Amino acid sequence: MTILVTAAGGNQGRLLVPKLLQRGRSVRANVLTEASAARLRELGVDDIVVGDLRDPEVQRQAVQGVDKIYHVGATGSDERTLGLGLVDAARIEGVSHFVFSSVLHAIITDLKQHEYKRDIEEHLLSSDLEFTILQPTNYMLPLRLRPVFARGVFELSWSLDRKQSLVDLDDVTDVAATVLTDTARHAGATYELAAPGRLDAHELCDIISRVLDRPIELREITPETYANAWLRDVDPETAEHVLSVVRSISARYSAHDFVGNANVLTWLLGCEPTSYEQFVEREWSAFRAAQTVSA
Ligand SMILES: NC(=O)c1ccc[n+]([C@@H]2O[C@H](COP(=O)([O-])OP(=O)(O)OC[C@H]3O[C@@H](n4cnc5c(N)ncnc54)[C@H](OP(=O)(O)O)[C@@H]3O)[C@@H](O)[C@H]2O)c1
C-alpha cells in the first residue's frame, strides 16, 4: 500500500511525508532535485523518483505500483499538462485513490494557477478514479516572516487594505494524512480549507508586532521585488512564469478580497484550526531557538 507524494520536497511535502511515515504508510516521493531526495532519505524515505514529472516516462515510473496519490502541482506553466497526464497515468495504473491538492476558489479564471487546477479537478472528476480534492486558501508561509525576523519589516505585494483568509500547512497536511489513510470516509469529497478570520495587512502586521513585542514596519512591495527574492536559482522559463503568476496575484488581490470559511477545516481537524497568531508564535519561537543554537 504505497502512497505517491508529488512535490515531496516542497512546503506541503516536507510536512506530509513524515506524518505518513509516522502512520506506518509506505511512501514514494517524487522530487526534481537530488538535494531534495537527500533530505527525504534522511527522513527515512527510500523509494524516491528523482525527475521532471512533466516527462511521461517519469510519470509512469512514479505511478507504477502505487496504491494512492497525493498530487501537489509545482508552480509552472506546465502545471495543467502535468496534472492531466498524472490523472491519466493513475487511471491506467488502477490507482485506488487520487487526492489532489488544488486551491480555494479554483474557478477564478484571472489567476492562471487557479485555472490550471480547475481544469485538473474537472479531468479528475471525469476520470472515474476515486478522488478527494483539497482546496487550501493562501498558505501561512514561514518565508513571508523572514523579512520580519531579519529586518523588522512585513512586506506584501498587493493592496494592504484587502482581506484574505489564510491556512497553516500543518493543518492542511494533517487533513491530507487523514484523507489518505481513510479513503472510504473521504472519497468523493471536495474540502475548502481555511482558518477562521479575514485579515488585511494592517491586522496581520498588528498580530506580528504583538507576538514579537516590538513595532513592525508595514510595506507594500511590487510583484517584481517579491518574486525576485526567491527566483535566484530558477531557470529563466520558470522564472518568467512565476513572475506572471505573482503579477496576476497582485492584481487580483488588490482588486478583491480572497476569503473562505473555516467550518470544513474545523470539522476535519476536530478542533479549531491554527490561527495566524499561533502560527507567528510558533515560527518566532523556532527562529529564536535556532539563533540560540547557532550562537
Ligand atoms: N502559496 C500559497 O499560498 C498556495 C495556496 C494554495 C495552493 N498553492 C499551490 O501549491 C502548489 C505548490 O505547493 P508547495 O508550496 O507545497 O510546493 P513548493 O514548495 O512550491 O515545491 C514544489 C516542489 O515541486 C518540485 N518540482 C518543481 N518542478 C518539478 C517538476 N517539473 N517535476 C517534479 N517536481 C518538481 C520541487 O522539487 P525540488 O525540491 O527537488 O526542487 C519542489 O520541492 C502550487 O500549485 C500552488 O499554486 C499555493
Kindly give the distance from the C-alpha atom of residue 272 to the centroid of ligand 1, in angstroms, as a whole number: 27
pLDDT in tens, 177-187: 999 999 999 99
Domain boundaries, the chain: 2-137+168-193
Residue 202 cell numbers, joined: 494592517
In which band, very low, low, confident or very high, does the pLDDT at 10 lie, cut at 50, 70 and 90? very high
What's the CA-to-centroid distance between 208 and ligand 1, angstroms? 26
Would the pTM of this model clear 0.95, i.e. be above it?
yes
What residue owns the CA closest to ligand 1's atom 1?
Answer: 139
If you measure from the C-alpha of residue 72 to the centroid of ligand 1, how many angstroms do you get, rounded to a whole number? 6
How does the average pLDDT of the chain come out, rounded? 95
Tens of pLDDT, residue by residue over 267-278, are 999 999 999 999
Superfamily of domain 2-137+168-193: NAD(P)-binding Rossmann-like Domain (3.40.50.720)
pLDDT at 242 over 90: no
Q: Average pLDDT in the 165-189 region?
A: 98
**pLDDT per position as a tens digit, 73-130:** 998 879 999 999 999 999 999 999 999 999 999 999 889 999 999 999 999 999 999 9
Q: Hey, which of 6, 41, 139 would you mutate to test ligand 1's pocket, going by the most ligand atoms within 8 Å of its Cβ?
A: 139
